Amino acid sequence: MVVLAIDAGTTGVTALLVTENGQIISKGYEEFAQHFPEPGRVEHNPEDIWQATLSACATALRGAAQPPSCVGITNQRETAVLWDRRTLAAPRRAIVWQDRRTAGLCGRLREAGHEPRVSELTGLRLDPYFTATKLTWLAENDPQVWEGVESGNVAIGTVDSYLIARLTAGARHVTDPSNASRTLLYGLASGTWEPELCELFGVPREALPEIVPNYGPIGRTEPSAFLGLDVPISGVAGDQQAALFGQTCFDVGDVKCTYGTGSFVLTNLGGEIVRSESGLLTTVAWQTPSGERTFALEGSIFVTGAAVQWLRDGLGVIGTAPESEAVARTVPDSGGVVFVPALTGLGAPHWDPQARGLITGITRGTTRAHLVRATLEAIAFEVRDVVGSMTGGSVPVLKADGGASANDLLMQLQADQLGAAVERPAIQETTALGAAFLAGLGAGVWGSRAELRKTWHLDRRFEPGERDDAAYERWRAAVRLATAGTHGS
């Protein structure tokens, strides 16, 4: 049996076919367009996401000898998508998780004293990152579309909900707890949409999807809509929770970091809701069909891999992202250069949407290699900040995945900065793998998590070496500069 995993990310859709022993036998990938209508605004055309999904899946399926036995979905989280319930057409572009247009709205709600209660209910904070303020903005700024929401003709959801609607030809309007818990509308304690939050943000509860467990019978694909396939959709999770599952971080205290456009550090909390006092988010990791929920603490870093992309596309100092390692290795250190990549504000543990990027320590002797190395160091420093807030500074091992985890120098810098081993799995597509694992559990491909753990194989373990604490202190000083400048204006 094989499982089809759909990973609908921020810049493209990956489709994998995964075997019972956890091996990838076929893959498809399709990028889709990014839209930046104004500074700080990021949008996607939902139809583009759907067409990329069809294309990626068709490519993956061409490489398979047999059809999949089930489908799993994972997705960019927090992005607000609206679609017509009857035609499934989107009346406007989706507002992406990176979008910062609601910073002022968040400020107003904070000044009105709402943040403590919102945090108490959701485990989150008032930040443009999350879905609910995007919906409030739509209600205030796109009344024609919002009229469709209030009349019941237009559905609201995150990318998982939209894809399931398309896969089932509109038969299912559902989400799962891992995605729901990123919206500012889901109660951690209640496990459902909170009427109090729906009222605060002005979101009609009946427009929201039904919340279903992360694996089990979720829906069934409609052949006329989805490449002729009639198979169960049996797993779904937000991308970071899916990566936690794909890394088989099933025990309390297990920690993983996904190095992608941003970086996301999650630790398994088990069944206990633990609230952070240091800028981390409490979120649902997954829920079983019996209703048992596992929670996670999360540190969301908005710009890591995107900083390397900026070196490539914005400055032209490297030709490709992988080239960053070779260039950075030509110098022994950053030469005192520090880069704070607050290109879309700062996430955990600082949470300053107004912070802007900063490069300090430049001298006449500074070269592009120093800047590239400072960029890799910044990623390691950002993750150290989060892990320190999450665990009190110590972690036995960090499981690493995502595109930038292929960078051996970055992984070694990370191990050095954490003073802990970093383990990279043989399969680094752990987000899609997590979706496959959930779907396979839900459809009986695998019988237990113990079976899944046997499919995880180590590629390389990076042992910690000497830690450059002086460089880390320079980093902390630069972060203070990057945030102080915004508060005085």
CB of 292 closer than 8 Å to CB of 280:
no
Query: Which residues of 176-316 form beta strands (DSSP E)?
Result: 210-211, 215-220, 232-238, 255-259, 263-270, 281-287, 293-301
Cα(276)–Cα(120) distance, integer angstroms: 11
Please tell me the predicted confidence (pLDDT) of residue 489. 38
How many Å apart are CA 269 and CA 145, to the nearest integer? 39
pLDDT value of position 393: 65
Q: What is the pTM of this model?
A: 0.90
Q: In the structure encoding, which two tokens stand for residue 178, read together?
A: 């891992």
Contact between residue 318 and residue 375 where contact means Cβ atoms under 8 Å apart: no
ω into residue 67 within 30 of 0, thus cis?
no
CB 376 within 8 A of CB 337: no
Q: Which pLDDT score, from 0 to 100, does residue 487 have?
A: 46
Identity of the residue numbered 472: Y
Q: What is the pLDDT along the chain (489 residues), one digit of tens a residue?
A: 899 999 999 889 999 999 998 889 999 999 999 899 988 899 999 999 999 999 999 999 997 888 899 999 999 999 999 999 999 999 999 999 989 899 999 999 999 999 999 999 999 989 898 999 999 999 999 999 999 999 999 999 999 999 999 999 999 999 999 999 999 999 999 999 999 999 999 999 999 999 999 999 999 999 999 999 999 999 999 999 999 999 999 999 899 999 988 899 999 999 999 888 777 899 999 999 999 999 999 998 888 888 888 899 888 989 988 899 999 999 999 999 999 988 777 877 877 877 888 899 999 999 999 999 999 999 999 999 889 888 776 788 999 998 889 999 999 999 999 999 999 999 888 999 999 999 999 999 999 999 999 888 889 999 999 888 899 999 989 988 888 655 443
User: CA-to-CA distance for 96 and 62, rounded, in angstroms?
Assistant: 31
What whole-number distance in Å separates Cα of residue 133 and Cα of residue 245? Answer: 28
Residue type, 95: I
Q: Residue 339: its pLDDT value, please?
A: 92
Q: What distance in Å separates the CA atoms of residue 372 and residue 232, rounded to the nearest whole number?
A: 46
Task: Yes or no: say if 289 and 215 are a contact pair by the CB < 8 Å rule.
Answer: yes
Q: 403: closest CA among 266, 304, 478?
A: 304
**Rounded Cα–Cα distance for residues 69 and 72 (Å):** 10
Whether the CA torsion 340, 345, 351, 354 is positive or negative: it is positive
| Backbone conformation region of residue 316, classed left if phi is above 0, alpha if psi is from -120 to 50, else beta | left
